[in-house]
Structure 1
Amino acid sequence: MNIRGFFLVMWNLWDPIYFSMTRLRYIEREGERTIIRARLMRYRGKPVVLSDGTVIGKNDLLIKIHLHNAKLLKELQGYNHEIAKGKAIYRHVRETLPSVAAFLESHRRFSEIKGIVGITTLHKGSGKLGFESFPINNRLYKYYKLILLFPIYILSSQWFFKQKMSKPAYLFMSKNTLLQRYGK
């Protein structure tokens, strides 16, 4: 078994355990599970001001979105080129954001939630979807996330040993932007 196969097996074993230990919920579209899972969280980072004027500060409520990496990796196996993989991820996220908006609108704490956040190395092109990218300033947390995301990098990149891994960043979208772009 090669290193990519090893990491894929390990990731598929770890994912259900991780899911059961977190408060993640599947985001569904037309009864089908999408590539995004979400949970409510309190923001712990430095304050950020989004382009629409929304200020996200310490302890503000956000919906944290997670890509379902195991599912995504299965769907990307048929793609041989990095650009095609990037376009497929972009399309999956774009198609899922209306369901994220519906999840937010139906949440019992809707009025308290300021927006959505994700942490990813896949932040190129995210602005077209309405996200705003901010660096992770806490070095320990940034390296912790880098270590956690490294297996996905190995599994998703055809030439992982030749490319430098992007640094993880916060992706924010305010509640207003999400609902204006993707709400009903």
Structure 2
Amino acid sequence: MRMRLFFISAWSTLDPLYYLCTRLHYIEQTRENATIFRVRLTRYKGREVTLSDGTIIKKNDVLIKIHLHNVRLLKELQWFDNDLRKTMILYKKVKESLPHLALYIQQHENEKEIKGIIGITMLNKGCERLGFEPYTISSRTYKWFKQLALYPIYLLSTPKRPPKNRKTPSPKYLFMSKGSLLTKYGFHIK
């Protein structure tokens, strides 16, 4: 437990530097409705993907890349040993943040160009219920790089002693079209 707290503390110290280097920014929010997303505009570089609503995401399409505020989440979840409880809290926080993301896109100066949102995660169980569509990363090199980059988050978010037979999940793209996001989450901010 001490080692886990040490890493979370060190990460908290380095997070502002990471934030600056990645060109991320926060979605405007009120204190009561703090979102767990940090975002940036990006051009998609993967293979062509057709989403369930017919939206086709092609190379160089403009997307909003979402990043979970992992340090904040890990601090909040560190006291829970139960994976199911952690998953439920994460699910709730993402669901509460999506209306803010919808509003952010609606008010963005490039709103007409934006085709959807994209994230990359190893923790993708239940993402379909939120409206995300998971897709395998086709580039082996990029998949390996993301697995390496996301592994510390995965380790810090798992129980103190994960079972030896537990397989490390592969990172996946999570997509949601702008139309799906606005239909499901637009104009619902409380």
CA contact (8 A) 1:26 1:33 kept: no
TM-score, normalised to structure 2's length? 0.91
Give the CA RMSD over aligned residues.
Answer: 1.5
Equivalent positions of 1:4-15 (< 5 A) are 4-15=4-15
User: For residue 173 of structure 1, what is the aligned residue in structure 2?
Assistant: 176
User: For residue 17 of structure 1, what is the aligned residue in structure 2?
Assistant: 17
Q: Distance between the aligned counterparts of 1:28 and 1:90, measured in 2? A: 21
Q: Structure 1 stretches of 5 or more lacking a match? A: none
Letter in 2 for 1:92: K
User: For residue 76 of structure 1, what is the aligned residue in structure 2?
Assistant: 77
Q: Structure 2 stretches of 5 or more lacking a match? A: none
Over 3 Å counting, the alpha-carbon distance change for 1:120 and 1:176 in structure 2 is same
Q: Distance between the aligned counterparts of 2:177 and 2:72, measured in 1? A: 26
TM-score, normalised to structure 1's length? 0.94
Q: Distance between the aligned counterparts of 2:69 and 2:104, measured in 1? A: 16
CA contact (8 A) 1:29 1:96 kept: no
User: For residue 149 of structure 1, what is the aligned residue in structure 2?
Assistant: 150
Percent identity (aligned): 51
CA contact (8 A) 2:35 2:96 kept: no
CA contact (8 A) 2:29 2:100 kept: yes
User: For residue 105 of structure 2, what is the aligned residue in structure 1?
Assistant: 104
SS of the aligned residue for 1:119 comes to: strand
- Between Structure 1 and Structure 2, the one with more strand by share is 1
Q: Distance between the aligned counterparts of 1:10 and 1:160, measured in 2? A: 22
Shift of 1:2: 4.8
Q: Distance between the aligned counterparts of 1:55 and 1:80, measured in 2? A: 40
Report the count of equivalent residues: 184
